[in-house]
Amino acid sequence: MQSRHRVFAEDLLLAQLQGEDHFDSVPDSLVLLIFNKLADARSLGRCSAVSRRFNALVPLVDDACLRIDRVIAAADADDALALPRQRGVLSGLLKTVLLAVLKPFGGHCDAGARPAGHAAAKHAPHHSPAQVLKNFSSIRNLRMELPVSDVGTDDGVLLRWKAVFGTTLQSCVILGGTRLEHASHPPSASASASGAPDEHDASQGDDDNGSIPESFYTNGGLKLRVVWTISSLIAAATRHYLLREIVKEHPTLERVELTDAHGQGTLCMERPQLKEFTDKPLAAAAAANRTQVPACNMKLRYAPMLELSDGTRIQGATLVVIKPVGEAGGIGGGRKELDEFVAGAFDGPFREAVAMLSKRRTYLLEMNGF
């Protein structure tokens, strides 16, 4: 008895010999559904070269994902960006800013184009994300992924952020920790991998009432959180500024998400924010390729140690919720919307961490625009 797969293959071969193509009977709506599931912009570009039919259908996809696998630095920043990775958050801040401002969207090359040597790389063709997406006419949901994180941190340090922008910042939430210990890695008696002060040991006795211990202000804990906050906002504002051409050329967009391969930070814009971004002028920071960040109110919550249900432990856990001055709730102007945004900003154990920190005492801070 012949295999069913063999019979099917022979039927296809016979159909081809007779000049028939069963794929022609597949409706365009189903082909588009497949393309939307594929999503990857480069793969879709290759599909468009298969046939005239595919070439006509690919630009009509609703969902697209663009992964930028190569970052091209500005020529005048080559030397600065080639420096060895510096240890310590404060010492690496300058390099972080350079990476955020100069590198994120310099361009990328096709997956197969890997020039050997610096001289070959200079002559290789590179295309900006806007150029890659220019042939897509109906994108509604766009996800873009950078190859590296914007904010440099040391091993063992937790830093996650999520920001929503319209014309400028609407809301941002930052989750940080000086040391992250996963359930599969039991706590070590050695010093923190990040070289940061051991805040847990310094403040165990102050944890019960939810207050920030005095040592938090004297051992550099507050300064470290300020660096995290400013660096994350610079990264978000830079990503936002570099989306302006894409948003302008794709009026069908309903949601844009710009993240990085390490999942450190995510910039989100949905239909109301995209409309505002299109209708109102963008306020750019002077002498910087980023959107200006307005004066903001910040709510900081802190726990010397969080132990999550899966065994994960976060030392020096900190939650910072940011919104512009004068806006009652940030997203949508409502407190409820902001609370929902904060609660759902992160997945997995980090969502539980946010829920635990949200119950702790709140400390109010203010930050000038920059």
pLDDT tens, residue by residue, 5-56: 455 556 656 655 665 666 778 899 999 999 999 989 989 989 999 889 999 9
Are 160 and 219 members of one domain?
Answer: yes
Separation CA 87–CA 127 (nearest Å)? 33
The verdict on 19 and 117 lying in the same domain is no
Q: Which domain holds residue 18?
A: 4-62
In terms of C-beta density within 10 A (0-12 exposed, 13-18 middle, 19 or more buried), how is residue 191 classed?
exposed
Q: At what angle do helices 93-102 and 221-241 cross, to 10 degrees?
A: 10
Q: Is residue 67 part of a domain?
A: no
Judge if 37 and 173 occupy the same domain: no
Are residues 112 and 8 part of one domain? no
What are 250-286's pLDDT values in tens digits?
999 999 999 999 999 999 999 999 999 999 988 887 6
349-357 and 335-343 helices cross at what angle (nearest 10)?
A: 140
Regarding whether 21 and 164 lie in a shared domain, the answer is no
Is the residue at 69 inside a domain?
A: no
Q: What percent of the chain has pLDDT over 70?
A: 69
CA 133-137-142 angle, to 5 degrees, is 55
242 and 235 Cβ atoms separated by less than 8 Å: no
DSSP label at residue 105? T
DSSP class of 310: T
Question: How many structural domains is the chain composed of?
Answer: 2
Residues 58, 86, single domain; the answer is no
**Beta strands 363-367; 296-307: pairing state:** antiparallel
* Domain end marker among 37, 62, 87: 62
User: Within a domain: residue 352?
Assistant: yes
pTM for this model (two decimals):
0.74
96 lies in the same domain as 219: yes
Domain annotation covers residue 70: no
| Lowest mean pLDDT across 65-74, 197-206, 279-288 | 197-206
Q: Is residue 147 located within the same domain as residue 211?
A: yes
Q: With the C-alpha atoms ordered 224, 84, 147, 275, is the resulting torsion angle positive or negative?
A: positive
Q: How far apart are CA 318 and CA 302, in angstroms?
A: 5
172 and 224 together in one domain: yes
For 235, residues 6+ apart whose C-beta sits below 8 A from its C-beta are 96, 100, 150, 151, 161, 265
Q: Are residues 143 and 182 in the same domain?
A: yes
- Note whether 28 and 87 are same-domain residues: no
Report yes or no on 220 lying in a domain: yes
The β-bridge relationship of strands 296-307 and 63-67 is: unpaired
pLDDT at 123 over 90: no
**Residue 68 counted as domain residue:** no
Contact of 196 with 179, CB cutoff 8 Å: yes
